[in-house]
Amino acid sequence: MPSPTFALRHVTLVTRDVGRILPFYRDALGLIARQPDARTVTLHFSADEPAIITFTADPAAVEPTERVAGLFHLALLVPDRSTLAAVLARLIEHRQQIEGLSDHGVSEAIYLADPDGNGIEIYRDRPRSEWPVAGGKVAMFTRALDPRGLLRELPSPPPAAPLAHATFGHLHLSVSALEPAKKFYTSELGLAIRQDTYPEALFLAADDYHHHIAVNTWGHPAPRGPARLTGLAGFSAASNRTAAPRTLTDPDGTRVTLEPLSSP
């Protein structure tokens, strides 16, 4: 397979209280948490990996009372089905509410939310040779995933930290309008439309992946505007289209930092 030309790196989220979200990520998900100061938490897949998520506390931030543009979910990719089973078992052990279990044809996924309501997807990819396709694009669908069948794949003993070898798989955004988002993510990030048959949603990617970025207008989210809100502040990605770091802003105000692909 050719070398990748694009990779998601990091997400920055705003919370009113880092103490509220820390047990979820540290205990239920098993991520490594570091607190460089009282208002910041960084989350890592393992001790020697860079941060994948940074939470910044802003006690004056407002929690939206209606759907606004921003994070729909961030998605963590595990290497195989047995690891996904271990994630599910850990979530059950920690009595974490699971919002959905889905088979998308290209992948199998667990959906949940953190205490601030930020959506989280944890998933494993099927081999590319098994991905459903139509018209030269992927043909993802949503069907129920049997939890008992998945748990039969649980290794013995289960890994102590099932997300230790995960990667940042994709990012799904709520946007106020599809066309401006499509123009931004295709022209500025160089992503291609990989599926456009879901109502009110687009899936975009580089390197013929099923999607690195998804955008939807489900629930008709409003623009974020100038208010200080909790939730998504920005994300970073590495691309072979840029020779030096640069920061962009998408049509709904999300900060997007592009870095050279060779950066650590």
- When the pLDDT of each residue in the chain is averaged and rounded to a whole number, the result is 95
Alpha carbons 245 and 231: distance in angstroms, whole number: 24
DSSP state of 41: E
Residue 226, pLDDT > 90, answer no
pLDDT tens for each residue of 64-92 = 888 899 999 999 999 999 999 999 999 99
In order of 43, 86, 99, 216, the CA distances from 192 in angstroms are 30, 33, 29, 16
Sign of CA dihedral 195, 201, 204, 210: negative
* Stated pTM of the model: 0.96
Share of the chain above pLDDT 70, in %: 99
Of residues 38 and 28, the one with the higher pLDDT is 28
Identify whether the C-beta of residue 230 lies closer than 8 Å to the C-beta of residue 14: yes
Per-residue pLDDT tens digits for 114-149: 999 999 999 999 999 999 999 999 999 999 999 999
pLDDT at 3: 86
Residue 170 buriedness (CB in 10 A; 0-12 / 13-18 / 19+): buried
DSSP H or E run through 103: strand 100-103
Whole-number Å distance between alpha carbons of 14 and 114: 13
Taking only Cα atoms into account, the Rg of the chain, rounded to an integer number of angstroms, comes to 18
Domain positions in the chain are: 6-260
Q: Which CATH number fits domain 6-260: 3.40.710.10, 3.40.630.30, 3.40.1280.10, 3.10.180.10?
A: 3.10.180.10
Q: Are 88 and 110 in contact (CB under 8 A)?
A: yes
